[in-house]
Structure 1
Amino acid sequence: VLDAVPGLVSWINSDLRYMGVNHHLAAAFNKLPEDFVGQEINFLQVNSRFPKFITQFFASCESQSSQEVKIEVAGEHRSYLIVAQKYHLLKAAVLVGIDITERQRMEEELRATTSRLTTLIQNLQAGILVENEFRQIALANQEFCTMFQITSPPEALIGLDHSCSTNLEKKFFLEPEKFGQRIAQILAKQQVVTNEELQLEDGRTFERDYVPIFVSGNYSGHLWMYRDITKRKGIETEIRKALEKEKELGELKSRFVSMTSHEFRTPLTTILSSSELLEHYRHKWADEKQLTHLHRIQNAVVHMTQMLNDVLIIGKAEVGKLDFNPVPLDLAEFCHYLVEEMQLNAQTLHAIAFNSPHQSIPSCMDKKLLRHIFFNLLSNALKYSATSSTIQFNLDCQDNQAVLKIQDQGIGIPHADLPRLFESFHRATNVGNIPGTGLGLSIVKKCLDIHQGEIAVESELGVGTTFIVKLPINSQVRQGADHEENSGD
């Protein structure tokens, strides 16, 4: 029967001599079972702790005891757990030696693995929370405590139930109740979840993973991993903006090429045709006809110069090099003279009705920028209005602000075009063959920005458009502004 026991079995009397051993013990030392009978327990001389343990055991009043010892068996040191049980009125004992060498090796490997895993988890740049199947916290690292502003050390969280862990986390998120509901959904499915983004109240963005833990097919708990990706999201946003800006620049370049090739063609054609006619026929023409073609050339040059100036203004404004030189002026008088000038240029095809309840409005503004603002708004009103219609130009003063309204009876602006109305080279989709560069309103907006002014638009297709401009009466040069004053036109 004893030979069927896989361990090393022996029985010893109180005189510390072997009474017998099983076949496994004898074979382990290359002996026969009868070789042990009557021998003292230290006759093998394999381990000094074994005789000492047996001696102390018989000297004690205990009926059973155990001890781990190392014994050299077949030239190899192995670990055994010796279990001793007294019998025969405590004058003899049965000892069973169980080989625990492999178990100790596995325990040591497990300890080493656990140590490495714990070190890895504690040094991860991510918050780790492990819960068991009862949703009690089994492990947390310092990064988790830091991310959720928990002042206690991670060890203090071990053993807390799920209500504590959920409450520790959800109070930081934009929608705490939805956070709790989502946790319940994930746990119910017990399926891996990765890269789930979460928005916090303080503006941070976390990324969360969930991993269920199964041992031998049985659910044993789960791991939560949180990563702070706020910086990454910020970089992604910057890259996205840069790509959008690059795309906008590409579109801007395309629109610029399209505009220049189209808008410059007409005046250049005029210059070329009139100059060729003068070259070949001026000696046959009267002075009046020659002057007509000369004026056509001059007007074409003026038109091209104006377009080039518009492009230069936009370029300066984009890099913050547009001059801002406010000087004292009478705004009412300035507007009156500008209307007279434009009325003459309109050649009586349109009427501009200037109205103001104020004879004089003393102010401090940049004359050049004001001219860009009003000239472009009035030019557009004239360009897109029916012949012989009247343009209303009203000027008032309210709360140290000049309020100007320019109202036409033109084609109007489609609602879909309003958001991009002040973009460079953008033109409304209903302009048809009416010439234009798409720069006028962009110049208006940039000049207003420098003045710290505002502009609003109201428009109805087929009825007309009204632009409302508000400007501070007394503008001052802003120190450290984006717009340099030392650059020329």
Structure 2
Amino acid sequence: MQDIELLQRRVERERKARLQAEAILEEKAFQLYQVNEQLRHLNENLEQQVIEGVTKLQDSEKRYRQLIESVQDIIYKISPEGFFTFVNPVVEQRLGYSEDEIIGRHFTELVVPEYREKLINFYWEMVHFQKESTYNDFPVYKKNGEIAWIGQTVRLIENEGNVVELVAVARDITEQVATDDALRTTQTRLSTLITNLQKGVLVEDENRKIILVNQLFCDLFEIPAPAETLIGVDCSQSAEQSKHLFKNPEGFVKQINDLLTRQEISINEELHMVNGRILERDYIPIFLEGQYRGHLWKYADVTEQFLARERIRKSEEKYRGIMNNMELGLIEVDNEDHIIRAYDRFCQMMGYTEEELIGKVASILFLPPEFHGIFEQHQSIRSSGRATSYEVQMIKKDKSRIWVILSGAPIMDEHGNIVGSMGIHYDISARKHLEQELALAKEIAEEARQAEKQFLANMSHEIRTPLNAIIGMTHLLFDTRPSKQQYEYLDILKSSADFLHSLISDLLDMAKIEAGRIEVQNHPFDLVGLLRTTQRVFQIKLENRPIELDLMIDGRISGNYLGDDVMLNQILLNIIGNAEKFTEEGTIEITVKLKKEDNETCWIEFKIADTGIGIPKEKLDLIFQKFKQVNPQGHKHKGTGLGLSITKQLVELQGGTLTVKSHEGEGTTFTFTLPFQKSDTEIVKNDYTIEEGTANLELCNLLVVEDNIMNQRYISGLLNKWNIPFTIAIDGRKAVEQAHKQHFDIILMDIQMPNMDGYEATLTIRNTNNLNQNTPIVALTASAMIDQKNKTKSVGMNDFITKPFTPSQLLSVIQRFLKVENLPTPSPVSLSEPTSTLLDFSRLKELYGDDNEYILDMMETFLTDALPDFSGFQALINTNDWVTLSKLAHRLKPSLGMVGLTDLEKTMAEIENQARKQPEAESLQLLWDHVNAQLEIGVKEIKREIEKLKL
């Protein structure tokens, strides 16, 4: 029983223990459940926090990237080895490189070569010494090749004590570098300028510490230290230390302290030193944005200027006293012409006291009304700062007048402003009276000279008129087969007439020289060619006489020279003509050589030696005097006594000299030297030769030398119709100029022309170096006489055409000289039947064919250009000027034939021939009246024909 009870108690205890264990287990299970729930909630919270953290991290990373991309600085990373691992987009904006073009490249590839080593050392020191942050700047290449300056701040990124990356924030500082460089340059220039300024300069800051000082300042103040060692030194006691150098030491210190207190600009302050030197001081305070930042002292040694001013002051005082005692009256006036001072001599001159003049208006008080305009004119000039001088009359106090030279000069203040003027008056009344007397005498002399000139002109005309008749009739009588005695009389008559003609020409030349109407013309000319032309002219003249004419030219003389070839030609003609006149037989030698060269001037010596009769020694001094006859008495060649005098003056006009040596019976040598300049114009010698078979007419080039407008139109019309290029020269001189400019295939040369006739032009072209020396020259002449043809040959012409010529004749000449085949032939005659009684239509058909436009042009040209010249005939007949009349008739004669007035052309030829023979005025008057009446009818018919041709 006991055992059962024991068992029951044990079972009970076990049951209780089991229940208690179950309760504990249940409680533990609940706690475990609670823990599990907590863990679950914790996991859920952790997951949420992770998600939120990731989201925040992503947002932060996005904001960080946006921040990096939004900044204007370049941000990049490089590895410790120097390779780019990251760049922000700004690098492309600043340097032009994209991210792909940068990543992986070494940083040295972008750096300017001379800065690479420096930058490598910079990064090495950062990594080696583990500097957390450092700044550096350097230049890099942009993608387009330009250079940009970069300023960067670099930081190290470490992991467990090792540098894994370098991060840099860089900024483009190109403009800042340029500005800094410009500033440094400006500072250097300013510093250099001040250091080397010829004035002592000291610049102090607001604390009176030296910023800049130059050596001259140290020298002026006897500072032994070099200027560069004084930078930063305190100048507070400098005035006390330097005051012993000045005559007023305490005043020197006080003035410096006052200037520093007032801080106002002070310039040109004068300081006197103990050693006698004078200094001029400037004080300039320096303000920056309203704040006082220091000041500048500038000291200039003006001792010399001071002494000079003193000398001037003393000199002014001295000369003021002198002027008061001179014959010059001085007054000073203000800008309104009020007198502010009158000197003693002026008061005496005008009869006033100074007190009476002060404040008065000078121009109103002294000047007569008629001189007010002159005064105003000079016053306006003086107001611009210039001095003037002029003559006026002035009224004295007693109302009498005096003449004065008034010299006025502006008076200026220290700022350059005109504050008045000084008038200096010199009494010239006595001189004016003398001038009036001289003017009257000059007027009388001028009237006498004009009377002399008028007498000379009248006499030359009155003598020439009968003289032309004498010469003309003499030539006609020579053609009448006179007897021996008659021939002798005619020869005497001819010699006397030639002498008179030469005398009149020389008188007129001398009158021109004395009146100064002859000027030296400088232009390029062929000196050698001119000499050979002159030789040829005289060789032709001496053909039948036992005289040899030799020309020797220095080999150094070549090319063109600048000078007056016309004047030289006249000198040569006068001297050689004189030698030819007084040489019966023997030689005339012309020697030309280069005497010397002076810089660009060539002195050419011309020597003309003859074997003539010579000049007596005692008369050599007379040969260049006017109207002096030094030939042996009774010699058959009488001179005018003016030729050599004119020649000497022409030589001297050109800056040359003329001398003569002679022995009676042995000959004479004239020597003259003239200065010429070598011309830069180079003329190539023409080697042109006519080739057989030239077939292209349009490649030919003709020169037409013709002064008559109708002949010009006629020839040019034909050449234009045949497509032949051509150039027109209106006289022989123009022809020579054209011959030097371009090559021609043929030259058509008129004979009678102004300035230079066809003979002279041809001689010049043939005997000078030019492009047409061998070009065929064909004469255009109205004369068909054999002697004229022979003369054209002798001067170098190849052939001649007699005016009026037909188109066929002109074509024939062109064909012959150019060897041109298949030339165009004249157009067939197709004009309608004429209704006129004066116009020769057959002539018009012969000249122009059926080219109505050509005929129309020629007729209109005749009316506008040729017809007005016919009005000059009557005046020439009235004055018996037969020479001019003959030339006018010769010139206008072809014009009539070219418009079909053939009969009038023949009558005009008769007028020309009679004028050459010195006719009676009545006879020529009848011929001209006939031409004039018929011309009036012919003009009307021409005008009618023009109207028909225009339809």
Q: What range is the shorter-chain TM-score in?
A: 0.3 to 0.5
Higher strand proportion, which one?
1
> Which structure has the larger Rg?
2
Higher helix proportion, which one?
2
TM-score (ref. length: structure 2): 0.25
